[in-house]
Amino acid sequence: MPDLDLYAIHGLDRRAPSEALAAQLTAQLNGAADPVQRQRLDIARAILGDPQRRARYDAQLGDPAAPPITEAILTGLAGRPAPVQAAKSVFAQPRVLAALAAFLGVLLIVVVSAVACSGGGDDSNSGRDAATPGTPSTLATKKQKPPTVYSAEYRSDDASFVPSAAMRIDSQLNLESTARKLGWTSADFGSTNTTSLSLARVTESGNIELTWCDEPSPDVPNSRMRCFAVTASSDLRLLSDAAFPQSERGTHTSKGGKVGGLFKYVRVTSGDRLPTEAITVKGGYTTLEASELVAGERDDVAYFVVPGSLKVYKATVVRD
């Protein structure tokens, strides 16, 4: 199945900034009458008009090893419901209306005839209820689709939007002791927001690769920047660690999908595992500033780090 290329579908310039694309899609949306087309234009605008969502979309579109971009993936990325064509009622069709009218006419004649024939007969049933209750019908309940990582993300272009789901933090991995063992010399890990812990890659096997670098010490002549890499399993068990010069950083990470260095704000549930860094409470909702949010082995599992911290968190998206 080929990718759904939003640029080609809507005749957009791939080099245009997100603001220009949003304006073009808004103009197309205002001129569209078909409700499904309007929904698809709104999804495209939500993705291409948001630099963060657009970066994720472009990365998957340009990655030949990534799964095909389907409408379901687009709706999840945009945080919008899937386009649905309103079903046209069968009773609105002229032929069906004519046939129904004819049937009701015949039925009325039969009923009138039956009443006329029974008039004056045995009235022993006159004490019965006018209507006998029937068996209640069982309505099929549509199964609610499980929330995805993007269901817990706030929209950067809509300050009033509140995500439909939240992230429940299940586990964390604190890399401070590992960093010290590798020779990390920084005296402060959190309060100054200088720690540049990065989710470098998620490998094909589901392992998480994280890297960060140490600034050269001004007190040591000719000191150079050193970098560090850690690999953890999908359940955040430490698998390996290494320290190396900055020039060798590329040799210590695999060829898996690269994670963009973008800042996100996500809704999180309350609990003991909440990170104290980068937490705010606004309008009654707990909000977490997460750096480099990335989906894990399932669409409802995510990994992230927060600014100024040497911890990586694993979370599950839940309805709250």
CB neighbourhood size of 6 (10 A): 24
- Domain residues of the chain, as ranges? 6-78, 149-319
This model's pTM is above 0.85: no
Instruction: Tell me the H-state helices in the chain.
Output: 6-9, 18-30, 35-48, 51-61, 71-78, 94-118, 176-182
pLDDT digits 0-9 by tens, 245-293: 877 766 766 655 545 445 678 888 877 778 877 788 777 778 888 776 7
**Average model confidence (pLDDT) across the chain:** 74
Residue range 149-169, pLDDT digits in tens: 778 888 766 777 888 888 889
1.10.3470, 3.30.70, 1.10.287, 3.40.50: which CATH number matches 6-78?
Answer: 1.10.287
Q: How confident is the model at residue 319 (pLDDT cuts 50, 70, 90)?
A: confident
Q: With beta carbons less than 8 A apart as the criterion, state whether 230 and 178 touch.
A: yes
* Cα(91)–Cα(145) distance, integer angstroms: 30
Within the chain, what is the greatest distance between any pair of CA atoms? 118
Nearest-angstrom CA–CA distance, 312 and 232: 10
pLDDT at residue number 239:
92
User: 113 burial class (0-12, 13-18, 19+ CB within 10 angstroms)?
Assistant: exposed
pLDDT of residue 237: 92
